[in-house]
Structure 1
Amino acid sequence: MPSAAPAHAVFFPYPAQGHVAAALHLARLLHARAGIRVTFVHSERNRRRVARSRGEAALAGARGFRFAAVPDGLPLEHDDYGPPDTLALLLSIEAGAFVPHFKKILEEEAAASGAPATCVVSDVDLALLAAKDMGLPAVAFWTPSACALMASLQCKELVDRGIVPLKDAEQLSNGYLDRTVVDWVPGMPADMRLRDFVSFVRTTDPDDAVLGLVVSSMERLRTASSAVILNTFDALEGEVIAALSRIVPPIYTVGPLPQLAGASAASHVDPPPAAAEDASGGLAASFWLEDGGCLEWLRRRRPRSVLYVNFGSIVCLTSQQLVELAWGLAASGHDFLWVIRDDQAKVAAGGGGDGDDAIAMLPVELRETVKGKGYLTSWCPQEAVLRHDAIGAFLTHCGWNSMLEAVANGVPMLCYPMGADQQTNCRYACTEWRVGVEVGDGIERGEVARMVREVLGQEGERGKEMRQRAMGWKERAAMAVVPGGTSWVNFERLVNEVFSPGRNNP
């Protein structure tokens, strides 16, 4: 019997920093550890951003690992430097121009490499549908948490039960979101509140475009996918993963992906010939230039003494929130490493000002205080920062990549969720895993200072307990990714059952 065609996975992540970074971790791991041929598809806008931040060499790929690009539908004059408008990006992808471009990529890559695609991996449902149209397995890589996936799957049920959309805007502020208990979701706590669900339910519009896209995307994930990959580990989200396994196609939990990649390298697994060229230096995904100087600054700080502050690649705080946060950090008495993106600084300055100098947006009387206690930068190598011994806590927007990296490195969190899946992640971090405290609906300097001292302080019981629990989760994450651990075993199953079925069969 002739041998099966070599596996060739085509990746297209949703074109936002967190989604691309997680997908690239998975793609690199499949290529390096299993010899899977990979074509990684950026949007054209993101391709320009990676080239600008890291140079064209970052897109050169390696033997068996190629990069390609398709239009995302946004106008050419759309700002390349800041994060895209989420609704505009969603609607532009859904508008219909994406599918023919993506199918053309699949055809061109087959012609160029002599190895036709054998599956498509994406969290963009139109890419999954395009794969099915071409007779290819469609593998959904869901980059947020398992609990956020379950919460997103409930959007249609919340609509059917008349809970969503909200009756009026007052329900956003009168306690309705806290009083409304959603106790019927399998695998989730019975005291989940409506405020703990994905932010897309916070609408009064019965024709809300984003809510409609979420509902349709969840249906497509259930019906158009041959498998679902999750960047999490069983010990962290076991109950909800078990419940999801009865609702969606076969699930493979393979996280935390950076730690799984590290464990694979440390185990001295011999890479197959197709992956002999390690392109790790050229496969970075950051859309911004990373400031490595912050690591040198951290080396001069005491262990677990520094608060790391980063609201991710999309969130923009108001100038008032940023000033209140700065006063609170300064008053806490602790050193801090604070990431303020250039586009965020420009927004805070009213669209003008010097976006390269985040301190310039602060009141004059605050600038010297901040300079004395903190290190401000526009972007940093977050995985390396969270691994650093000097980091004692993380003030985060609760994006899943950030939260999972904190969990995997034993770092307690101050949680300030802003949208999408972040409310659900915050609930789990604070109530289920008990490694986080919620900052609240607003940022107030006195409360920020108090919470930083509480979490970072060496004397307080609450901070001590959080650190102990965080270290416990770090140990569980480490156990999941070593040979024989749940994520290690699930990755092997993923390769054999999804990407290379029958490769070991005669």
Structure 2
Amino acid sequence: MEKASQLVVIPSGRIGHLVSAVEISKLLVSRHDQLYITVLIMKLPFDSKGTEAYRASLEASPVLPRVNFITLPKVPDLDKHLSSHSFRNQFIESHKTNVKNAVAELTESQSDSRPRLAGFVIDMFCTTMIDVADDFGVPTYMFFTSPAGFLGLLFNLQRIRDVYGKDVSEFKDSDTELSLPTFVNSVPDRVLPSVVLDKEGAETFLSYAKRYTETKGILVNTFKELESHALDSLSDGETPPLYPVGPMLNLMSDETQSGSEQAQQKSDILEWLDEQPPSSVVFLCFGSMGSFDEDQVREIALGLERSGLRFLWSLRQPPPKGTVVSPGDYSNLSGVLPDGFLDRTAAMGKVIGWAPQVAILAHPAVGGFVSHCGWNSTLESLWFGVPMAAWPVYAEQQLNAFELVRELGLAVAIKMDYRRDTQVVVSAEEIERGIREVMEHDSDVRKRVKEMSEKSKKALMEGGSSHSSLGHFLDQIFL
């Protein structure tokens, strides 16, 4: 009989990464009855109410009997005015001692009847925790929450930096088109992730990539049928073994406590959607960090009104300039929207703050999704068969949009190279065009998305590509 084994899972603090880590943990223990998992949670100093509620629900009622959650002690406050790269690095680095203490406590309490420590599974941002795993003499695996295409880009840019000595941030505004093994088409510099076009960001992310090669394997939140070219190109013997195990989705992520404010908001939204015809509503939502200034908000409003289409718009208030705090809800929507907009569109649209995204995408009234192309949102949209209009905002989203539009034909473009740190304002005309295009009922994009939706579900079924890949990973754990 195989000896029980334990993995320590370490997500970074952001809600999207925490949710994905919980989902992979649930799936792993469901596949092997001798596997135990401890998830170590790092609490951000500016967590949103939604994040706090989600974390509290994990601690209060374990999702499975063999998954344990430990919230690590709070670290000294960090300067919220640091760059996002510096803040993230300092935040995670400051938790190394807490992680070491928590794992020591786990291993010290072990006896012959307790699970052996088999390894760490770290988030893509938590490479510093490889040092802690080394201290315990166990291997490190990584869970990569972005697409394989982005992973391949990081490996290639890291080699360009370390082998050829080139500063990759010089690609910014260079009109360069890169030929990369993980992409069929050449990749223009204007869709490279903002982080690699910034000198500090490039150094940070390419240093992550260099440490990825120290891991024993990389779990990727994707599936073979979606990114076959990228995954094949990474099976070159130069990178650790890849295990495409996606789509990892929390289809219950919108569940809220009965009677809570969010529960009432969700109920109101779904009641409104219930009144709309099938596939008639375009949903606009830009993720937990997505927000726009007033000039851009007005252009979105004009584009929606001119389109004449039904819409559901998640509109968030930007955080104070120079901070890494999450956007919040407006107390007065009419103050940021064009005069009379809410009255004129009352019969065709609804403007909300926080959005129960999974429940909305699952609703039959939703026919299109204007999205920032965050990877979790992308996988959710594909799962429910809702075509996307790509409007990336930050991080690797420009590259995700390029992959979805140019490589895979699974989205239409509003503006693939938009970046929130510029003064560019996307016009109402561009927004209206993109909305109309994504809502075309007989488009090739819509047909391809429906086909990929079926493939995403089959990948997780017994005998499916991701189901088999996860089995190969578990074989490594129980060698």
Q: TM-score range by the shorter chain?
A: 0.7 to 0.9
Q: CA deviation at 1:359?
A: 4.6
Q: CA deviation at 1:250?
A: 1.2
| TM-score, length-scaled by structure 1 | 0.80
Q: Secondary structure at the match of 1:252?
A: strand
For the structure 1 residues 416 and 57, does the alpha-carbon distance in structure 2 shift closer, same or farther, using more than 3 Å as the test?
closer
Q: Secondary structure at the match of 1:45?
A: coil
Indicate the residue corresponding to 1:430 in structure 2. Answer: 405
Q: Does 1:20 align with 2:10?
A: no
Q: CA deviation at 1:101?
A: 1.3
Q: Give deviations 1:257-299, integer Å, cap 9, x for gaps.
A: 23xx88xxxxxxxxxxxxxxxx999999xxx956422223222
For the structure 1 residues 85 and 406, does the alpha-carbon distance in structure 2 shift closer, same or farther, using more than 3 Å as the test?
farther
Q: CA deviation at 1:120?
A: 1.2
> How far apart are the structure 1 equivalents of 2:36 and 2:295?
49
Q: 1:255 aligns with which of 225, 238, 246?
A: 246
State, as a whole percentage, how many aligned pairs show the same letter.
Answer: 25
Indicate the residue corresponding to 2:170 in structure 1. Answer: 166
Indicate the residue corresponding to 2:142 in structure 1. Answer: 140
Q: CA deviation at 1:365?
A: 2.4
Q: Does 1:201 align with 2:177?
A: no
> How far apart are the structure 2 equivalents of 1:220 and 1:106?
21
* Structure in which a larger fraction of residues adopt helix: 1
Q: Does 1:232 align with 2:227?
A: no
Q: Does 1:99 align with 2:103?
A: no
Q: CA deviation at 1:444?
A: 1.0
Q: Does 1:186 align with 2:181?
A: yes
> How far apart are the structure 1 equivalents of 2:461 and 2:29?
18
Amino acid of the residue matched to residue 144 of structure 1? S
Q: Secondary structure at the match of 2:41?
A: strand
Amino acid of the residue matched to residue 482 of structure 1? M
Q: Give deviations 1:202-237, integer Å, cap 9, x for gaps.
A: 23xxxx3221111111011112x1110011110111
Gaps of 5+ in 1: 263-278
Q: Give deviations 1:100-149, integer Å, cap 9, x for gaps.
A: 11111112234567545322111210123311221122110000000011
Indicate the residue corresponding to 2:421 in structure 1. Answer: none
Q: CA deviation at 1:77?
A: 8.7
Q: CA deviation at 1:383?
A: 2.2
Amino acid of the residue matched to residue 450 of structure 1? R
> How far apart are the structure 1 equivalents of 2:51 and 2:328?
26
> How far apart are the structure 1 equivalents of 2:286 and 2:374?
8
Q: CA deviation at 1:164?
A: 2.4
Q: Does 1:456 align with 2:439?
A: yes
Indicate the residue corresponding to 1:273 in structure 2. Answer: none
Q: Contact between 1:328 and 1:445, CA under 8 Å: does it hold in 2?
A: yes
Indicate the residue corresponding to 2:422 in structure 1. Answer: none
| Superposed counterparts of 1:15-414, under 5 Å | 15-35=13-33, 36-45=35-44, 49=49, 52-54=52-54, 56-62=56-62, 63-70=65-72, 73=75, 75=77, 86-93=84-91, 96-111=93-108, 114-115=114-115, 117-123=117-123, 124-159=126-161, 160=164, 162=166, 164-166=168-170, 172=173, 176=174, 179-183=175-179, 185-203=180-198, 208-223=199-214, 225-246=215-236, 247-258=238-249, 289=262, 291-293=265-267, 294-341=269-316, 343-344=317-318, 355-414=330-389
Q: Contact between 1:128 and 1:140, CA under 8 Å: does it hold in 2?
A: no
Q: Contact between 2:285 and 2:372, CA under 8 Å: does it hold in 1?
A: yes
Aligned Cα root-mean-square deviation (Å): 3.2
| TM-score, length-scaled by structure 2 | 0.84
Q: Contact between 2:390 and 2:401, CA under 8 Å: does it hold in 1?
A: yes
Q: Contact between 1:417 and 1:426, CA under 8 Å: does it hold in 2?
A: yes
Indicate the residue corresponding to 1:477 in structure 2. Answer: 456
Indicate the residue corresponding to 1:11 in structure 2. Answer: 9
Q: Contact between 1:59 and 1:283, CA under 8 Å: does it hold in 2?
A: no
> How far apart are the structure 2 equivalents of 1:358 and 1:252?
45
> How far apart are the structure 1 equivalents of 2:239 and 2:190?
24
Structure possessing the higher relative contact order (Cα contacts under 8 Å, 6 or more residues apart)? 1
Q: CA deviation at 1:416?
A: 1.1
For the structure 1 residues 132 and 370, does the alpha-carbon distance in structure 2 shift closer, same or farther, using more than 3 Å as the test?
farther
Q: Give deviations 1:46-66, integer Å, cap 9, x for gaps.
A: 788567435844422433222
Aligned residues: 450
Amino acid of the residue matched to residue 445 of structure 1? A
For the structure 1 residues 214 and 231, does the alpha-carbon distance in structure 2 shift closer, same or farther, using more than 3 Å as the test?
same
